[in-house]
Amino acid sequence: MKNMTLKEITLACNGTYYGDDTSYHKNVASVVIDSRKVEKDSLFVAIRGKRVDGHTFIPETINAGALCAVSEELIDNANFPYIKVASTEQALKDIAEHYRQGFDLKVVGITGSVGKTSTKEMMASVLSQKYSVHKTPKNYNSEIGLSLTAFLIEEHHQVAVLEMGINDFGEMEHLSKIAKPDFCVMTNIGTAHIEFLKTRDGILKAKSEIFRFMNPKGKIFLNGNDDKLISLVPFNGISPTYYGMDSKFPFYATDINPLGLKGTTATYHTPKSSFTAHVNVPGAFMVYNALASIAVAYSLDMTDEDIIKGLEALKPIAGRSNIIESDKYTIIDDCYNAGPVTVKGALELLSQADTRKVAILGDMFELGPETWEIHFGLGAYAAESNIDVLICIGELSKQTYKGAKEHGFTKAYYFETKEDLFKEMDTLLELKDTILVKASNGMGFAKIVEVLKDI
């Protein structure tokens, strides 16, 4: 990471330094919250989690080579440097904000109810054809995750593509303060996290906090086919640029040709050009991701040729419409997360397979008071889809099973746990089946994918 001294860090987080003057002027090599990731001269920030208190690991991290710790507690008889703060979590964010401000690079902030990660991956694939790009690793899109992502920015990076996810009001403002995006992208306003944000208007309001600390000369890119986003008023004089499936938008797509599990081809239009590209990752929603990426790339003066290379170079990631060919099955690994819109899209993708089609669905979380009705309705939707077998797992998914059964779907099965399914898997599956695996991440359906791969 870029040079940052303990003095800088202490001032950035409004802390009190305890230690020798020589260490005060030393640079840290990394910033970590996981004691297992400490290296020589790391700064260890002791976060209090729900199950583990990082303060208990401070002596261990110092012994492992950490230069300094950030603590909410006074440490008696400490023979190592530490910084005392009121809140270590806030200190982490303050330090990350300070670190990010030390770079002259373009930042793309991506948010939305669904499609954030896939858009982030496509955006990075496209922009990396011209620029040195840093992107959010894994699912580091929370306040803590974004802070850790910021510390991975290096001096050679020219663009940072940052995924920004929230559960409640106020969180996006904190993310925006750290990221200070030059370009803000919103994929859509759905029902994810509606349990906390109550309505889609509430979700729109919460996600619009991304604009609070954006570059006043920056740009906003929105999905024009989303009924909430199309009504968004200009922010601080910045009028949104829309993309979508309508030629009235500056960036739009035509001649969309779904190729099932082999992705989609489409013709993409910019204010100055048109070109055709093939996105290898399946799912019609990838066309929207492509349009968002094209719009940002266009603003960064990229050529059509480089944009096409980036779109076609995209690789699927685990848990996100990732097609796996095992000896026995074709597996659609889409188990990272789930909501009613994304599950329906995944079922539509599954329906395009040319073999027997099996959907293994689990619970969807954070859907608010209508959770039961939504799961039941999903079962009804599955019953009318072109699939052959539906397997439901989890307490909420019992309603999905009931919805399918009550709408005449005979080959629907229910299991309380993954382990119960494993006992019956041989009797339910057939050689060459195409199998969709999808649920909210907390259901741990990655285990099902691993079992299917190893059968």
Residues 303 and 363 in one domain: no
Give how many domains the chain has, as a whole number.
3
Query: Does 440 reside within a domain?
Result: yes
Q: What percent of the chain has pLDDT over 70?
A: 99
Q: Check whether residue 130 and residue 39 sit in a common domain.
A: no
pLDDT at 138 over 90: no
Q: What rounded mean pLDDT belongs to the chain?
A: 94
Domain final residue, candidates 63, 87, 111: 87
- Across the range 374-380, mean pLDDT stands at 96
Residues 383, 355 within the same domain: yes
Q: What is the mean pLDDT of residues 349-373?
A: 91
**Are 211 and 64 members of one domain?**
no
**Highest-scoring range by mean pLDDT, 40-44, 138-142, 234-238:** 40-44
As a whole number, mean pLDDT of residues 427-451 equals 94
Tell me which of 123-127, 257-261, 435-439 is least confident.
257-261
Instruction: Establish if 97 belongs to a structural domain.
Output: no
Mean pLDDT in residue range 273-281:
95
Tell me whether residue 333 is in a domain.
yes
Average pLDDT of span 133-143: 92
Q: Which of 103-117, 335-349, 388-402 has the lowest mean pLDDT?
A: 335-349
What number is the average pLDDT over the span 146-152?
Answer: 97
In this prediction, residue 338 carries a pLDDT of 87
Same domain membership, residue 336 and residue 295: no
Task: Report the CATH number that the domain containing residue 49 is assigned in CATH.
Answer: 3.40.1390.10
Judged against a pLDDT cut of 70, whether residue 193 lies above it is answered with no
* pTM score of the predicted model: 0.81
Q: Report whether pLDDT(369) > 90.
A: no
Average pLDDT value for residue range 248-271: 94
* pLDDT band, very low/low/confident/very high, at 170 (cuts 50, 70, 90): very high
- What is the pLDDT at residue 46? 97
**Residue 76 and residue 20 share a domain:** yes
Look up the domain containing 363 and give its range: 322-454
Whole-number pLDDT of residue 226: 95
- 3-state DSSP of the chain: CCCCEHHHHHHHCCCEEECCHHHHCCECCEEECCHHHCCCCEEEECCECCCCEHHHHHHHHHHCCCCEEEECCCCCCCCCCEEECCCHHHHHHHHHHHHHCCCCCEEEEEECCCCHHHHHHHHHHHHCCCCCEEECCCCCCCHHHHHHHHCCCCCCCCEEEEECCCCCCCHHHHHHHHHCCCEEEECCCCCCCHHHHCCHHHHHHHHHHHHCCCCCCCEEEEECCCCCHHHCCCECCECCEEEECCCCCCEEEEEEEECHHHCEEEEEECCCCEEEEEECCCCCCHHHHHHHHHHHHHHCCCCHHHHHHHHHCCCCECCECEEEECCCCEEEECCCCCCHHHHHHHHHHHHCCCCCEEEEEECCCCCHHHHHHHHHHHHHHHHHCCCCEEEEECCCHHHHHHHHHHCCCCCEEEECCHHHHHHHHHHHCCCCCEEEEECCHHHCCHHHHHHHHHC
Q: Report yes or no on 355 lying in a domain.
A: yes
Query: In this predicted structure, what is the pLDDT of residue 115?
Result: 85
Q: Tell me: do 276 and 389 sit in the same domain.
A: no
> What per-residue confidence (pLDDT) applies to 75?
94
Which has the higher per-residue pLDDT, 455 or 96? Answer: 96
256 in a structural domain: yes
